[in-house]
Structure 1
Amino acid sequence: MGRNAIFVALLLGIMIFQVTVVNRLPLPGQAAPDLVLLAVVGYALARGAAAGAAMGFAAGLLSDVLPPAAHLFGHHALVLCLVGFIAGRAVESHPGAGPLAALACAVAGPVIAVATGALLGDPRTGVSMLTTALPQAVLYNLLAASPVVWVVRRLVCGPEPRPVQVLGYVMRSRL
């Protein structure tokens, strides 16, 4: 089984875990971390902009039909596609910017969701959304970003080769 197939299975598990456990946690406020968004960010950081956008779109469409879908159909697909593209493009432009790009996308995801919801005429988007739910969603995403993105990148990329130290010197093989 390839790494992409393993990621798709992991993504399905994350979606089920998001709906059944995370969204029902008694967290303070009206929000919860968006683990699907963070998984797409991790995938995009590992594979690039085109793959991140495609996986974000597919994950978003699946998330749009997964109950309880209380938003417009295609809205989550649009948001995850944009965030996947942004994360992948950031790491393509600046290869060392992975952790910073992950945190920036953890903040940008809920902001893009609210902005596109307002543009699409979502009736739930209002002043209370901007003042209470949005800051809480950003905070929860920031707290969950590092572990979720690290696990997903590790799963998609595989173990990174480490240099072997012999007698205090670093030797790198040319294989």
Structure 2
Amino acid sequence: MTRKPDRRQFLVAAALVGGAVLTWAAPSVAQDKAQPPALVTSIGQSLDAFQVQLAVKRSGIPYKYDPHIEANQLGEAKTLMLAVGASLKGFGDAGISISDELARTSHLLDAAKAKGLYVVVLHIGGEDRRDALSNQLIELAAPRANYLIIRNDSDGDGLFTKISKAGNIPMVVIESAATLKQPLEKLFSGG
């Protein structure tokens, strides 16, 4: 005699299958170190991101550079590198406002978290890139980073030190964009 499954067995089976699907679709676990490939973008539309991508290239790290990348374009990146520094000329050339850039940054950070990307925030523009617009972007991005790299004159007011200590975020201080290669090599080698 063949026994028909009852409704409870069907519901349990459906719940198990549904649970497996939910587990499979869950976000990735965050990377605990910087890994290639990297994605370098500008947060603030300054040319600082271009300097960062040159240092990444010289370091031999596989990467993609796109100063206007959107959250749905992260692709296969495992490390998101955000070069923060506002440029009014850059905003004008890109046809965006600070509000647009804050929204794009927030979406990028949310997508990076969902995908488990390691996030590096870089501020290599020094004191010249510490105006009110840049500070809005720094205050949004830096606390959500896994790692901070700043130029030695970027922290005159202690903002980066405060963010680093509050979030227990490692921070490296460099002399200039020209000295960025060695910290990047160390970061991507797990050091």
| Structure with greater helix share of residues | 1
Flag the structure with higher strand content: 2
Q: Which protein is bigger by CA-based radius of gyration?
A: 2
Relative contact order (C-alpha < 8 Å, sep 6+): which is higher? Answer: 1
